[in-house]
Chains A and B, each alone.
Chain A
């Protein structure tokens, strides 16, 4: 295959909220504006920054840094705990604004989304750069005067995202056939979305050291030599501005994990937390209206060792009792003398729920009714008010975290907030 760079008019707009969580906190608290702040899920000495304000980034704070590390060079660094309803409000307001311009809007995560303008030219009759400026203004007016967004416009989702990151913060750029080579010439390989150290090493091994060389590589080289799969072909098209990323992914698994607040090998400490993880995973499963057949449990030990075990079952399951029983059976096979630092459960092999089908076994029906009743009570009163007594300590210790990536669990999270 030999493709030219796409000459299509740029119709994809990527919108990215600058340092979303930190900026939302600065919007809510005027006294924090202009100051280096960070946001974390649970404040402790070793907690890490999951979002940093631009002022903090300018002083060298990076996402993932531990609080005690940051405090060594910024003694007055302010760390706040996440506030999901606040971010949800900002997310919803941003969605609302974006949907005013096209019916085809897809939120990629809590702080970024894509507007596809294909087929809306007659509706707007003005350049997308003008619409981009208007969206920026509306975000300031309708969400908050401190809120800033980056807007990127491109012929495909990849180039639109690259354009949004070109001149941060508060940028607005277009990348199309006119300036695509100029853009690539300014970047490093790992600046490109989707190219991290692993892919960079593969590209380097094939003699590709810059985005321009990446662009000039043939489809065959990328497919056979670099990526050794169809991914190479996708990259060949993506770099030239052709759309390959407009795909809907299927839900493959649900799960939860927890870094223990107290490192321990003692069942009385571990099992309440583990049971709570199982119950909240069950809630996610039912929220997606699917049943699972596979259970995967894992643990990380203080020794640095990682342990896991998985099992596939013939019959699908979805009740908290079934999930915990199956997970516990596996979890009890761990080396019990080792101190656990983190653990998790994942349910896989998901299939559409058969819950509307009544069983011929009364015991099965009773389990289903009990689960439904518990879910309804929790839905009404919030805050996971009803749960197993054994999981009591777990409920107090395992805090719900802000979802990264997709936003499919945001509504569920808010019911517990």
Chain B
């Protein structure tokens, strides 16, 4: 029904910053370490800001070619959290 797995776990993330380009791609997570596995992101699907009280949170919806991940960067606490994972496949259903 809902393929989302909520994890809410702090993760190590390598982030890329570009000096120019569209605002949506100036900064994005390149890879993360989760359960001793390195996951390299191949897709930045959507980035949007939100807030928790006065704390600015940047939400990155990214994909590794198989699964989708929701990562949140807390701009005040400087932490990365893997909020959710969607198991999926990229081919449209029959």
Contacts and interface: CB of A to CB of B under 8 A. Distances in A.
A125 interface: no
B77 interface: no
Given A27-B46, A89-B48, A33 B22 contact: no
Contacts of B46: 24, 27-28, 86, 89, 144
A276 B43 CA distance: 41
A149 B1 CA distance: 28
B59 A76 contact: no
A27 B4 contact: no
Contacts of A33: 90, 92
B54 interface: yes
Interface residues on B, range: 20 to 34
Interface residues of A, number: 37
Contacts of A383: 52-53
A382 B61 contact: no
Contacts of B59: 85-86
A79 B45 CA distance: 19
**Among A24, A28, A380, A382, residue most surrounded by chain B Cβ atoms (within 10 Å):** A28
Interface in B67-94: 67-68, 70, 86-93
B50 A78 contact: no
Nearest to A24: B46
A30 B90 contact: yes
B24 interface: yes
Contact of A31 (B2, B24, B68): B68
Contact of B53 (A31, A80, A385): A385
Nearest to B43: A30
Contacts of B51: 382, 414-415
A43 interface: yes
Contacts of A86: 46, 48, 59
A417 B90 CA distance: 30
What are the nearest 8 A-B pairs in CB distance? Answer: A31-B88, A34-B92, A89-B48, A382-B53, A85-B50, A28-B61, A381-B53, A28-B46
